Amino acid sequence: METATAKKTAPPFPKERHWLFGNATMLRNDAIGMVKSMIKGYGNIFSLSVPFNKVVIASNPEYARYVLQDNSKNYRKSLAYDLLRALLGLGLLTSEGDFWKQQRKLAQPAFHKRKLDEWTEMMVERSQHTADRIRKYADSGEAFDVLPTMTTLTLDIISKAIFSTGVEEKAKVVGDQITLLNEYTIRKLHTPFRLPDSFPTPFNIRQRKALEKLDNIVYEIIDHRRAEGVSKDDLLSMLIDAKDEETGEGMSNQQLRDEVMTIFIAGNETSSNALTWTLYLLSQNPDAEQKMLDEIDAKFNSGVELNYKTVGEFHYVRQVIEESMRVYPPVWTIGRRNLEDDEIGGYRIEKNTNVLIPIIYLHHSERFWEEPETFKPERFAPEKRNNIDRFVYFPFGGGPRMCIGNNFAMLEMEIILITLYREFIFKLKEGFKVEPEPLVTLRPKYGMMMKAVKR
Ligand code: HEM
């Protein structure tokens, strides 16, 4: 007997599509523009025609809440995460089911408030170290790319928190490999007809080499810790010491590598992009910049020292970061696949459909935001913050798979902004072209050439 869901039709398919590649080419050329124009033409839920895959774009807070939270049991991660798995293995971001649940339980305590408190001092110190390095650019007036500067800093911070050691000297290698792998992953996603990773194509060889370089660094750190035989109060030791409740077995080096690599990458790529966009947005919005500087000056002039307790007093700094992630959400879309047939918005969602939730669209929708294209940190003032729906604004995702590092990221970004803007403001290099590029994360395509000006 047919069920009610089986009778429904699939969400509408747009007319604009290539006879062979469907919407794949349009997605590759201008994913954000295409989704925007399709939503205009076809509404909040529509299908895309992509070779070998069923894809639905669902851009409504109710659909987001349903897929990510209320009916999350029927959804696993989408196709894009299969590709990420080649890089991250079975870490928290890419694993599923009971295995994921167990790993999340193990990792969660490392992100508790007590740990964040301990990490604050280190974050302040590393941010100050970066400010010291920026000073030479401020002195010479030379423009520099703030994206790799932020990447080096966030890598340094995440590696200290996870491994109790910095990888600053290796940060350039790590940063370059992560950028490459990010590009490779999205290229694979946009290439419907491709050979398996094991085929020695030039592309696959380049990808394997980048991965090997990154693996070597991570394995070196794991081996070193195992050899030391001393447990430290960081995530790596927590993972090394964790034992399966039934078998008493610890994690293999491969499992450790997967978790470490996941947190390494998830915790760096997102925050460094968010910070870079924030510097850019502040440079374009002098009133907001001045308001933030006034707050920073007022706090320090009244004798406040930057620590875990006082960072929460910098309300406007936090608002600036939240608004920046509204305008440029580092994770611009989230995808899931349904295990069983489902129904969304009255349409049939056939089993194994990639349901994509375009966070960036919801963050810019006129339905929910006044003047959505304007940068207005005031939207996130403490008295207004609770009125914002958790699935209208959700840079950290939602439901059980929500970002485990959200508090870490907010703390880190606040400390970095406060430390840098205490000393400098940043101006975009004249004539520099800024363009968002929706890879796995939303990056500035050409980097971000800026000048640091001493205050
Ligand atoms: C601005 C910074 C960040 C943003 C915007 C961000 C965003 C996100 C989003 C949207 C997800 C959910 C993905 C999904 O549902 O499929 C996620 C998951 C995750 N994030 Fe973050 N993230 C940030 C920083 C961090 C940091 C600093 C860490 C680690 C220190 C981290 C570790 C993770 C992990 C491990 C997951 C997977 C969680 C799970 O599935 O259990 N993230 N992040």
3-state secondary structure 304-329: CCCCCCCHHHCHHHHHHHHHHHHHCC
Q: What is the pLDDT of residues 267-306, one digit of tens each?
A: 888 999 999 999 999 999 999 999 999 999 999 999 999 9
Residue in 270, 276, 401 to alter for ligand 1 test, most ligand atoms within 8 A of Cβ: 270
Q: What is the pLDDT of residues 224-240, one digit of tens each?
A: 888 888 777 777 888 88
Q: CB of 444 within 8 A of CB of 277?
A: yes
Q: 405 alpha carbon to ligand 1 midpoint, in Å?
A: 6
* Residue nearest (by alpha carbon) to ligand 1 atom 43: 403
Q: What is the total count of domains within the chain?
A: 1
Q: 102 alpha carbon to ligand 1 midpoint, in Å?
A: 17
Q: 330 alpha carbon to ligand 1 midpoint, in Å?
A: 10
Report the alpha-carbon distance of residue 412 to residue 111 in Å, rounded: 13
Which pLDDT value is given to residue 2? 46
Question: b or e along 240-254 (b: 16 or more beta carbons within 10 Å of the residue's beta carbon)?
Answer: bebeeeeeeeebeee
Q: 267 alpha carbon to ligand 1 midpoint, in Å?
A: 7
* Residue nearest (by alpha carbon) to ligand 1 atom 11: 403
Query: What is the position in ligand 1's atom list of the atom closest to the CA of 107?
Result: 35
Which pLDDT value is given to residue 6? 57
Structure letter (DSSP) for residue 168: G
Q: Residue 238 has which token pair?
A: 């927590």
Which pLDDT value is given to residue 29? 66
The amino acid at residue 1 is M
Range of the domain at 383: 4-454
Which pLDDT value is given to residue 1? 42
Question: Can you give the CATH number for the domain in which 202 is found?
Answer: 1.10.630.10
Q: 68 alpha carbon to ligand 1 midpoint, in Å?
A: 14
Report the alpha-carbon distance of residue 328 to residue 324 in Å, rounded: 6
Query: What is the position in ligand 1's atom list of the atom closest to the CA of 68?
Result: 15
Query: What is the position in ligand 1's atom list of the atom closest to the CA of 394?
Result: 10
Q: Which residues in the chain come in under a pLDDT of 50?
A: 1-2
